[in-house]
């Protein structure tokens, strides 16, 4: 049985520093946690959720930089960013709802996927819309370019891969 919800959050997710513009426009239900949001991004980009990730954005209440991470494990702690500065906060993604973080006054964030390849994305909340009846969410409305394959070496490896493909 599908959850009831009133609003849909529309985001544009852009892969930073890619050799060609790579982005997706997605809509997700207002009840989504950051874990759900991560899975929607993975699906829209065509990735397989094989790597660690986290979100980074301003806490709309404290105005401090916040990291919203996967559940902690020794592996995540080892690969995650450097220890928190005094002005940073950390939360777990499965109990943080996107509707509490993304607002008309707090529209931007970052999403880092694969701490080795460092696929950094900019997330922009474009609109908060009423739910459309008989529409299945999440959904990808638009996008540009294929997403790089996983494990190709990040932006630099992807640029090299494109050069090799263009001139075998």
Which residues have a Cβ under 8 Å from the Cβ of 162 and sit 6 or more positions away? 19
Q: What is the pLDDT of residue 75?
A: 45
Cβ neighbours around 3 below 10 Å, total: 9
Average pLDDT over residues 67-80: 61
pLDDT one-digit tens code per residue, 74-113? 444 444 555 556 668 999 999 999 999 999 999 999 999 9
Average pLDDT over residues 105-129: 96
Residue 128 contacts residue 10 (beta carbons within 8 Å) = yes
Question: Residue 66 forms beta bridges with which residues?
Answer: 57, 89
Which residues have a Cβ under 8 Å from the Cβ of 164 and sit 6 or more positions away? none
Cβ neighbours around 26 below 10 Å, total: 25
**How confident is residue 3, by pLDDT bands cut at 50, 70 and 90?**
confident
Residue 13 contacts residue 44 (beta carbons within 8 Å) = yes
To the nearest 10°, report the CA torsion of 26, 29, 30, 35: -80
Q: Answer whether residue 16 shows pLDDT above 50.
A: yes
pLDDT one-digit tens code per residue, 31-46? 999 999 999 999 999 9
């Amino acid at each position: 049985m599908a959850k009831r919800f009133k609003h849909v959050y529309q985001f544009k997710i852009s892969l930073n520093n890619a050799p060609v513009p790579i982005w997706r426009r997605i809509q997700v239900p207002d009840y989504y946690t950051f874990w759900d949001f991560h899975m929607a991004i993975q699906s829209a980009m065509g990735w397989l959720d094989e790597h660690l990730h986290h979100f980074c954005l301003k806490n709309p209440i404290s105005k401090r930089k916040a990291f919203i991470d996967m559940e902690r494990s020794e592996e995540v702690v080892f690969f995650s960013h450097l220890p928190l500065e005094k002005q940073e906060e950390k939360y777990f993604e499965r109990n943080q709802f996107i509707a509490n973080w993304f607002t008309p006054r707090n529209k931007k964030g970052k999403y880092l996927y694969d701490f080795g390849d460092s696929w950094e994305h900019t997330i922009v909340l474009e609109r908060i819309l009423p739910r459309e009846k008989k529409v299945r969410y999440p959904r990808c409305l638009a996008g540009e370019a294929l997403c790089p394959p996983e494990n190709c070496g990040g932006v630099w490896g992807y640029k090299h891969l494109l050069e090799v493909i263009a001139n075998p």
